[in-house]
Chains A and B, each alone.
Chain A
Amino acid sequence: QKEVEQNSGPLSVPEGAIASLNCTYSDRGSQSFFWYRQYSGKSPELIMFIYSNGDKEDGRFTAQLNKASQYVSLLIRDSQPSDSATYLCAVGTGNQFYFGTGTSLTVIP
């Protein structure tokens, strides 16, 4: 069973702060790594993907990957109340995805 673990939270940060979300995975053969955002009552929406070790930045979002440590993270800079959601880490192996259970983030105005 391939496992994807996330810090369960809930995580609360003040508006303007950096939110840090973490994920570890068990399968060393995993090739692709994703972060999905899911608002309450809605379906998951892909916000970031990363394939190589290091950092990948997209606006206020930075994904970080360390394959040696089997660790993926998502940093959200200048957090906004609209960032309040559950964030799902997904790890791709072949054609399959494995999801973590998600971290709930609340950004307090």
Chain B
Amino acid sequence: DVKVTQSSRYLVKRTGEKVFLECVQDMDHENMFWYRQDPGLGLRLIYFSYDVKMKEKGDIPEGYSVSREKKERFSLILESASTNQTSMYLCASGDRASYGYTFGSGTRLTVV
């Protein structure tokens, strides 16, 4: 079974802090994604990557950056956390959209 591991299940950070969310997959997948999920808004794509050192902006990239130095690891960075970034963050990976993507267990981030 594909495993997508997110480093933290729950995280509480202060406004203005730099926050790192880590995601690791064990299936040598090319494609990795970061989403945030909020009630009533569904899943919104923040950033995605099709290869090492490659990144593309999704629908809501403002306030975020990403890093993919190794194929198996895709990190989401909140440069200066704000309260409106309180959300559930979900990482996903897969080879192609036609095969479906697998999600990690999610990180519930609260910014206070």
The reply to whether A95 and B50 form a contact with Cβ atoms under 8 Å apart is yes
Q: Using Cβ atoms and an 8 Å threshold, which residues of chain B touch A92?
A: 97-98
Chain A proximity of B72: nearest CB distance (Å): 18
The reply to whether B105 and A101 form a contact with Cβ atoms under 8 Å apart is no
The reply to whether B105 and A42 form a contact with Cβ atoms under 8 Å apart is yes
Q: Which residue on chain A has the smallest CB distance to residue B50?
A: A95
Give 27 pairs: A residue, B residue, CB < 8 Å, sorted on A: A31-B98, A32-B100, A42-B106, A43-B104, A43-B105, A43-B106, A44-B43, A44-B90, A44-B103, A45-B103, A51-B98, A92-B97, A92-B98, A93-B97, A95-B31, A95-B48, A95-B50, A95-B97, A96-B45, A96-B97, A97-B45, A97-B97, A97-B101, A99-B42, A99-B43, A100-B42, A101-B40
- Residue ranges of B at the interface with A (Cβ–Cβ < 8 Å): 31, 33, 40-43, 45, 48, 50, 90, 92, 96-98, 100-106
- Residue ranges of A at the interface with B (Cβ–Cβ < 8 Å): 31-32, 34, 42-46, 49, 51, 88, 92-97, 99-102
